[in-house]
A and B are shown apart, each in its own frame.
Chain A
């Protein structure tokens, strides 16, 4: 059953064509990743689904209903944790229900359980500055889950973490996802992360951003980190890398031209 569908989505910023004819259908409970070089519009795409940005044309349908503004049916996990420094871990995670005017006892219990789920039990009264980057991203995740969204939108949530912490967070995310089986749309520029986490990887091309290839990942679940060293896994990574290699090279050269002189 289709949870989220994007129909003929286009996005322009003035003269710049950012996204062209995006058509995606995501089944309920599926974990979908978007990968692509910088400038392929993957974050813009996610922000349009979140309602933080408007599409120039086309529609975003959630359970068949068109969505255009932010809503409690979508939980956004940000690249930088975006925690409020004056709020404790618990109060940060509770912000969604609080803004919706329903931070009652049931929601507080729910948040407490979520913090336990993401491994932050005992840290409820800590302030963000007392936490490591990995822990702050756990709060970021539980904050999005606290509104019990139909779909989780994740924008490179682990990109600011060091390599080891990132791998741990990937397995943690898998564990949490296996428990709730939320529909997830995950943006990353790391191919191995996308393959490890996803049922399906959408590979985007740049200028304009468009879907180049859809790759179903047939690795069995639950997946342990060790799967990353299997030939099957590496074949997926290799295939995706070859799809975007030229684009990545082009974007790097462009970066050097723009900033390197």
Chain B
């Protein structure tokens, strides 16, 4: 029998080796279409229910009335400032919480003492609905931007901390050993292995933080504020202006959807090895 010649191209699995997105576009479009139809159908039902069954704009606004309200608020120049205030509160709080969460998570993962000291607080506060502290924060910091920033920080920092810690801790022992066999220093092991392998966890924590942060901004504004989307909602509720109340809710929904979608895109770019 002759020597078996090796040919590496025989070994590659074509399904996995091909462009990871080949062939998925059409199916995605089909699924997108189903989603779009579901949304449009839901809106049509809502419109029908609101106009024909309830037929009272004090209780339920129809989608067309809501979009009309959004249009009027936008053109009238009221919507922009509300959004700007809420966006600033969210952005500042979210940025601080992200940084803080990653740092605390790192401390907990790298020091057993640090973990023992911080763990009870992190676990306890994560489980507590800290949003209930919003009135207290407003008492302390006033009804301006900073009380909302503090609420956002409290809501976002814990999922980021917990995920960062978990991600750094689950670094594969086999891979650590591999790097050690090449003489890697602890610092090199952290930057070349622990950090990248924790990235999917950290990003998941940040993604969780988006929804929580948005809730924080709005609820804190409901408790007391001069401007913001939450303020718009509470004002409209006081005036029984259902279309404008729903306009605020729709703005929030869109913000959440856009930011979550943006994050999914960031994940694709930053941790492409996790997609399958």
Binding site for B on A (CB under 8 A): 50-52, 69-72, 74, 76, 78, 80, 82, 84-86, 95-96, 98-100, 119-120, 123, 126-132, 134-135, 138, 147, 165, 167-169, 171-172, 224-226, 229
Which one of B38-46, B106-114, B161-169, B179-187 is at the interface?
Answer: B179-187
Among A50, A85, A147, chain B packs the most CB atoms within 10 A around the CB of A85
> Which of A71, A147, A165, A167 touches B11 (beta carbons < 8 Å)?
A165
B175 touches A84 (CB 8 A): yes
Q: Are B3 and A224 in contact (CB under 8 A)?
A: yes
Interface stretch (choices B12-20, B55-63, B133-141, B152-160)? B12-20
Is B188 touching A99 in the complex (CB atoms < 8 A)? yes
CA distance A134 to B13 in the complex (A): 11
Cα distance A74–B181 when bound, in Å? 8
Given A52-B181, A78-B174, residue A132 in contact with residue B3 (CB < 8 A): no
B266 at the interface (CB under 8 A from A): no
Q: Which residues of B contact A (CB under 8 A)?
A: 1-4, 6-8, 11-13, 16-17, 174-175, 177-184, 188, 192-193, 196-197, 271-273, 276
Nearest chain A CB to B18's CB is how many angstroms away? 9
Contact B273 A129 (CB under 8 A): yes
Contact of A95 among B7, B16, B179, B271 (CB under 8 A): B179
A171 engages B192 (CB within 8 Å): no
Bound CA–CA A82/B11 (angstroms): 19
CB pair B183 A126 closer than 8 Å: no
Instruction: Say whether A99 contacts B192, CB under 8 Å.
Output: yes
**Contact status of A86 and B271, CB under 8 A, knowing A78-B174, A99-B188:** yes
CB-CB under 8 A from B12, the residues of chain A are 123, 130-132, 135
For B181, give its contact among A50, A129, A138, A169 (CB under 8 Å): A50
B83 to chain A, nearest CB (A): 37
Report A-chain residues with C-beta under 8 Å of the C-beta of B4: 167-168, 171, 225
Q: Which 10 A-B pairs have the closest CB atoms?
A: A82-B178, A224-B3, A119-B8, A76-B181, A85-B273, A132-B11, A96-B182, A134-B11, A168-B6, A86-B273
Do the beta carbons of A100 and B174 come within 8 Å of each other? no
A226 B1 Cβ-Cβ under 8 A:
yes
Chain A residues lying within 8 Å of B182, measured Cβ to Cβ, are: 70, 72, 95-96, 99-100, 147
Chain A residue with Cβ nearest B179: A99
Are B183 and A99 closer than 8 Å at their CB atoms? Answer: yes
Name which residue of chain A comes closest to B172, CB basis. Answer: A82
The 8 Å CB contact of A119, one of B6, B183, B196, B273, is: B6
CB–CB A80/B174 < 8 A? yes
Q: Which of B7, B8, B271 contacts A123 (CB 8 A)?
A: B8
| B17:A130 contact, CB within 8 angstroms | yes
Q: How far is the CA of A186 from the CA of B172 in the complex (A)?
A: 24
Please give me the residue from chain B that is nearest to A71 by CB atom: B183
Selected contact of B1 from candidates A135, A169, A225, CB within 8 Å: A225
User: Are A82 and B8 in contact, with the CB atoms below 8 A?
Assistant: no
Q: Which single residue of chain A is at the shortest CB-CB distance from B12?
A: A132
CA distance A74 to B182 in the complex (A): 8
User: Are A171 and B3 in contact (CB-based, < 8 A)?
Assistant: yes
Closest chain B residue to A77, Cβ basis: B181
Q: A100 to B271, alpha carbons, bound, how many Å?
A: 26
Chain A residue contacts of B181, Cβ below 8 A:
50-52, 70, 74, 76, 78
Given contacts A86-B271, A99-B192, A131-B17, 6 further A-B contacts (CB under 8 A): A86-B196, A86-B272, A95-B192, A123-B12, A132-B11, A225-B3
CB distance B179 to A126 under 8 Å?
no
Output the least CB separation between A122 and chain B (Å): 8
CB-CB < 8 A to B1: which residues of A? 225-226, 229
A78 touches B178 (CB 8 A): yes
> B residues within 8 A CB of A70?
180-183
Name the distance in Å between B54's Cβ and chain A's nearest Cβ: 53
Residue of B nearest to A132 (CB): B11
- Nearest CB of chain A from residue B2's CB, rounded to whole Å: 8
Measured CA separation A130–B174 after assembly (Å): 20
- Write 11 A-B pairs (CB below 8 A) sorted by A numbering: A52-B181, A69-B183, A72-B183, A74-B181, A95-B182, A98-B192, A99-B192, A119-B8, A126-B17, A129-B16, A225-B3
